[in-house]
């Protein structure tokens, strides 16, 4: 990891793959990841950790399956949202977006419980930037 400041827009310009997070830095035992996204991710859940989202550009919708049923939250640029541990969710960005995520190092991008992973989604614990 770098011990110099990292400009996020410049970091995002270094890759083109969608739904393929890059690890920008680490804070204690957590990765700070950025990703370019478009279309739908996969329904999944992280059994042991919350998942933090910050929209850097574009708009992200997160569908949630909760005890009271399904709902969706839409995040505009600059918005943050935390999906609680164990909650099934599916991020999507029909118009495309750039996002930042904060999660424990080693967390799989498709969670602990997920549907079949389509080819356009990278099942990874993050790639070094």
In contact, 11 and 24? CB cutoff 8 Å:
yes
pLDDT at 26: 95
- CA gap 111, 87 in Å, rounded: 10
Give me the pLDDT at residue 58, please: 98
Whole-number pLDDT of residue 31: 96
Report all structural domains of the chain as residue ranges with CATH numbers, in order of start. Answer: 14-119 (2.60.120.10)
pLDDT along the chain (129 residues), means of 10: 88 96 96 97 94 98 95 98 96 97 90 75 83
pLDDT score recorded for residue 115: 67
| DSSP-H helix ranges across the chain | 8-12
Query: The whole model's pTM is what?
Result: 0.92
């Amino acid at each position: 990891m770098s011990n110099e400041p990292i400009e996020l827009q410049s970091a995002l310009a270094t890759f083109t793959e969608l739904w393929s997070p890059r690890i920008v830095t680490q804070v204690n035992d957590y990765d700070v990841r950025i990703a370019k996204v478009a279309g739908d991710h996969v329904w999944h859940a992280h059994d042991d950790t919350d998942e933090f989202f910050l929209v850097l550009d574009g708009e992200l919708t997160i569908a949630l399956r909760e005890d009271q049923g399904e709902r969706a939250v839409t995040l505009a640029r600059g918005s943050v949202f935390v999906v609680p541990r164990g909650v099934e969710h599916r991020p999507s960005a029909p118009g495309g977006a750039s996002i930042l995520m904060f999660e424990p190092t080693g967390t799989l991008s498709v969670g602990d419980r997920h549907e079949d992973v389509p080819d356009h989604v990278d099942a990874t614990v993050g790639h070094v930037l």
